[in-house]
């Protein structure tokens, strides 16, 4: 099941509805859309409404309107389309001028990739863009899409990029692991750790002097205590850079992370490095081992 609404730190993604036609009119007539996507010949509100109704009626097309949480302002769209010309679904994005270059497209596209169901994640997700759209290419590369080939779509030569299902699943698991310890909004729920990790997973904290080695229970329990008893408040840890290598049914992900929170009433910030080792069991990726070291 594809979610109709998706929340991120800054954004709300809501499935396209007919009352969005005025925003769609503005978007499809913006300079970036006309240059890189093409003129949809939408010249009136009635044209825009008919265009939106056609999208909503097509089961192979999904549009999400991306809005700011703070003020409900619509910024752009994320699309997921199964085209006749392409073997797999492709994901796309378009934002109004003035809302580019601040990470909204990356944040929104990552969120959609994280919630895609297995029925769509059969092998890979594609993305297409024009040769001249350097911003789109940069974003796809940041999302870890890899160039595959040139394709012809509706008479236009496009660049086809792809992201494997394995990479999507490993990215989702990694982000879910980081989110286990987030208590910025609610008390953290650690139950998912047993779905994210193998039963024998080991977790190691390394310092210059020694290493602390944990199993799942011995790792979770002390963190559950400090994250729920007021010792560590407004804590958040998140990935800022990653490199993933997959070979067969094993994989490794290097994560550079940042964190911040209030410990015993004192605000702090930090960063560090994690290595995740994964293995695939019965078609599912799971964390087998984590080792990390904070920067001093």
Predicted confidence (pLDDT) per residue in 65-92, tens digit = 999 998 999 999 999 999 998 999 999 9
Average of pLDDT values for 10-39? 94
Asked which of 31-40, 142-151, 179-188, 228-237 is least confident by mean pLDDT, the reply is 31-40
- What span, in angstroms and rounded, lies between the C-alpha atoms of 59 and 15? 13
Instruction: Find residue 241's DSSP bridge partners.
Output: 256
> In this model, does residue 21 exceed pLDDT 90?
yes
Length of the chain measured in residues? 296
Distances (CA, A) of 56 to 38, 130, 154: 20, 25, 21
* pLDDT more than 70, % of the chain: 100
Q: What is the pLDDT of residues 157-184, one digit of tens each?
A: 899 999 999 999 999 999 999 999 999 9
Running DSSP on this structure, what letter comes out for residue 28?
A: H
Average of pLDDT values for 228-239? 96
Tokens of 74: 């619509």
Looking only at the bridges linking them, the beta strands covering 61-68 and 74-81 are: antiparallel
Handedness of CA 28, 121, 10, 60 (dihedral sign): positive
Query: pTM score > 0.85 for this model?
Result: yes
CA 111 to chain centre: 4
Helices (H), the chain: 21-28, 31-36, 45-57, 104-115, 134-142, 165-179, 193-196, 216-228
Average of pLDDT values for 246-257? 98
Q: Grade residue 1 by pLDDT with cuts at 50, 70 and 90.
A: low
5-164 fold: Aminopeptidase (3.40.630)
Tokens of 126: 């594609």
Are the CB atoms for 160 and 243 separated by under 8 Å?
Answer: no
**H and E: helices and strands count for the chain:** 8, 14
Tokens of 22: 């005025």
Which residue ranges does the chain devote to CATH 3.10.450.50? 180-294
Over its C-alpha atoms, the chain yields an Rg (Å, rounded) of 21
Are the CB atoms for 257 and 271 separated by under 8 Å?
Answer: yes
CATH classification (class only), 180-294: alpha beta
Q: What is the pLDDT of residue 42?
A: 94
In the block, tokens 């999302």 appear at 143
């Amino acid at each position: 099941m594809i979610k109709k609404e998706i929340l991120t730190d800054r954004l709300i993604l809501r499935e396209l509805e007919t009352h969005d036609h005025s925003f769609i009119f503005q978007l499809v007539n913006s300079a970036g859309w006309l240059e890189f996507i093409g003129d949809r010949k939408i010249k009136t509100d009635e044209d825009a409404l008919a265009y939106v109704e056609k999208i909503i009626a097509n089961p192979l097309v999904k549009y999400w309107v991306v809005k700011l949480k703070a003020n409900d302002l619509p910024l752009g769209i994320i699309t997921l389309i199964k085209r006749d010309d392409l073997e797999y679904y492709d994901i796309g994005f378009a934002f109004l001028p003035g809302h580019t270059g601040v990470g909204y497209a990356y944040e929104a596209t990552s969120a959609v990739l994280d919630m895609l169901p297995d029925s769509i994640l059969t092998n890979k997700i594609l993305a297409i863009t024009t040769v001249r759209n350097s911003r789109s290419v940069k974003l796809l590369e940041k999302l870890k899409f890899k160039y595959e080939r040139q394709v012809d779509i509706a008479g236009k030569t496009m660049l086809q990029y792809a992201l494997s299902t394995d990479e999507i699943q490993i990215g989702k698991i990694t982000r879910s692991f980081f989110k286990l310890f987030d208590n910025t909004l609610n008390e953290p729920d650690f139950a998912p750790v047993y779905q994210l990790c193998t039963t024998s997973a080991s977790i190691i904290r390394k310092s210059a002097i020694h290493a602390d080695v944990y199993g799942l229970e011995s790792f979770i329990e002390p963190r559950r205590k400090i994250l729920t008893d007021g010792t560590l408040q407004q804590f958040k840890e998140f990935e800022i850079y990653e490199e993933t290598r997959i070979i067969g049914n094993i994989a490794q992900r290097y994560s550079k992370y940042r964190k911040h929170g209030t410990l015993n009433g004192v605000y702090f910030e930090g960063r560090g490095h994690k290595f995740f080792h994964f293995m695939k069991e019965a078609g599912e990726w799971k964390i087998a081992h984590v080792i990390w070291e904070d920067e001093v």
